[in-house]
Amino acid sequence: MAMNEYFDISRKIVANMTSQSWRSVPHVSVLLEADVSVLLPLLQEYKGTHDTSISLNSAIMKVIAEGLRENPKLNGRIQYNAWLVSGKFTPSEHVDVSMPIHYGDGKMITITLPQIETLSMLQIQETVSKMRDRIDHTDMPRVLYKTGLQDTFEGLRNGKLITATGRLIGAKFGQGRVKHSSSGRGIHPDSLQTSDIRQGSVTVSNMGSMYRNWNGHIIMLEIVPPQVCAIGIGALQKKPIIGKDQQVDVSDILPITICFDHRALDFSDVVPFMDFLTENLRDQKIIKTWIESPLL
């Protein structure tokens, strides 16, 4: 007989943020089938002439970051008062990506990659690799507990008394209480800090990396308030494309789902971002520049 499995701190954080998202954010999702037929050979060429390789994930992160820099309406924070029907959008100074990563036995943590618009594809690859190494040296329940505690006290300072009090009670009491190491002894110097998992300005999830044989699309994503956009990357697919001359070619297609907060954005705000991705993924010169150069 299966036993009850109470949420650990990682699951608690995901449950809390996704519940908050569905309660408060009116979502709209659009799908872009990005043609990466130009990008993939350039990544293979780089791998063949260097001692390292750049993953498709790191490469597309750079393209997305550049697209968000050119279209800052998708990269920022919303403040909205439903009672007063008043709102404000504040664009972020940098593209700070929150990226979910799986570790251990099917667990997930969302790390923050700060200012990735200033990095090349190679530098993003190196940054993600270092983050994965640091995860291996991290007492995850401890750092998640510290981060959750900071968020709770921030909620108290912002007047969210009932929510913050409930989180404190749930963390300290009952069968689902959080178990963590309270001692700072034995902490690895390369372990993740709370700043490494605090919320960024946009969330980018690569679900295709977990299921490479996936022949489908991401339908919906949760937007983590106060962010206004979440981006989901699917699995690479081969698809027939009919050209202007009616010739049928097989292209490498990467499904990219863009989910946006309809309070802050309309579809017309997302179109320029999709155009940017489409056009620049066709441009060998730009892609070659982004591979090693931080800025175009």
All structural domains of the chain, each given as residue ranges with its CATH number in brackets, are 9-138+188-292 (3.30.559.10)
DSSP three-state, residue 68: helix
Question: CA 214 to CA 157: how far, in whole Å?
Answer: 44
The tokens describing 125, both together, are 């690859």
Judge contact between 39 and 279, C-beta under 8 A. no
Judge contact between 123 and 62, C-beta under 8 A. no
The tokens describing 200, both together, are 């960024």
Judge contact between 257 and 80, C-beta under 8 A. no
Judge contact between 109 and 10, C-beta under 8 A. yes
pLDDT for 137 equals 82
Could you state, in chain order, the average pLDDT of each consecutive group of 10 residues for the chain (296 residues)? 72 79 91 96 93 93 97 95 90 95 78 94 95 85 67 52 43 51 60 84 90 86 93 92 74 96 96 98 95 68
pLDDT for 5 equals 78
| Selection from 40, 37, 65 nearest residue 55 by Cα | 40
No. of helices (H) and no. of strands (E), the chain: 8, 9
Please report which helix (H) or strand (E) contains residue 233, including its range.
strand 229-233
Supply the pTM of this predicted model. Answer: 0.85
pLDDT for 22 equals 87
pLDDT for 13 equals 75
Ordered DSSP codes for 70-138: H-GGGSEEEEEETTTTEEEEEE-SS--EEEEEEETTTEEEEEEETTGGGS-HHHHHHHHHHHHHHHHT-
pLDDT for 71 equals 96
pLDDT for 122 equals 96
DSSP designation for 213: T
pLDDT for 116 equals 95
Angle in degrees, CA 230, 233, 234, rounded to 5? 135
pLDDT for 173 equals 45
